[in-house]
Amino acid sequence: MTATGTFGLSSEARNLHWLLSNLVEEVPGVHSVAVVSSDGLLLLSSDPGQSTEAATAGRHESPRGSSADLATIVSGIGSLTVGAAKLMEGGGVKQTMIAMEEGSVFVMAISDGSLLGVHATPDCDMSVVAYHMALFVGRAGHVLTPELRDELRKSMEKAE
């Protein structure tokens, strides 16, 4: 989301948008990022700009080219891993990573029950991605109040 897309938002919401954009721009191999509320609603996203060549060829740089699709995947992975942890009496789920032939998906819990999801290239440095995700979670977790989640959700609805 660009700076113009954050016009009218609170300073906390603008800061989270900046952190999210920074994660995508600064970490090599990251295609897109989504923050999903505990009830599965998309709160923040950063869709990559698709290249004309990729769009013409019908290839997408993120799941189906949509932050909504990434949010759905992140929410499903979160639900599945929480259920598995309960069955195995493993405690809370901190992070999930899925490595595929053509990409990777990372999901990390945020303290309020929300989830941070990242779609990256298959050759990304997984430790660097996880480190930057942990930084985001550490910075976002204490400010992601119910009021801020509501503000972010409403801003995503307006953007659609």
Confidence at 6, pLDDT banded by 50, 70, 90: low
Q: Which pLDDT belongs to residue 47?
A: 66
In this structure, which topology does domain 3-159 adopt according to CATH? Beta-Lactamase (3.30.450)
Q: Which pLDDT belongs to residue 65?
A: 54
Q: Which pLDDT belongs to residue 40?
A: 87
Rounded CA gap, 154 and 10, in Å? 12
Pairing mode, if any, of strands 30-36 and 103-109?
unpaired
Whole-angstrom CA distances from 126 to 18, 36, 104, 105 are: 22, 21, 9, 10
pTM more than 0.85: no
Q: Where are the domains of the chain?
A: 3-159
Rounded CA gap, 95 and 130, in Å? 9
Are residues 83 and 113 in contact, defined by beta-carbon separation less than 8 angstroms? no
Please compute the mean of the pLDDT values over residues 68-83 and round it to a whole number: 92
Q: Burial code of 28-62, b = ≥16 C-beta within 10 A, e = fewer?
A: ebbbbbbbbbbeebbbbbbbbeeeeeeeeeeeebb
Q: To the nearest whole number, what is the mean pLDDT of the chain?
A: 83
Q: Which pLDDT belongs to residue 62?
A: 43
| pLDDT 10s digits, 29-58 | 999 999 999 888 899 988 644 333 333 344
SS3 88: coil
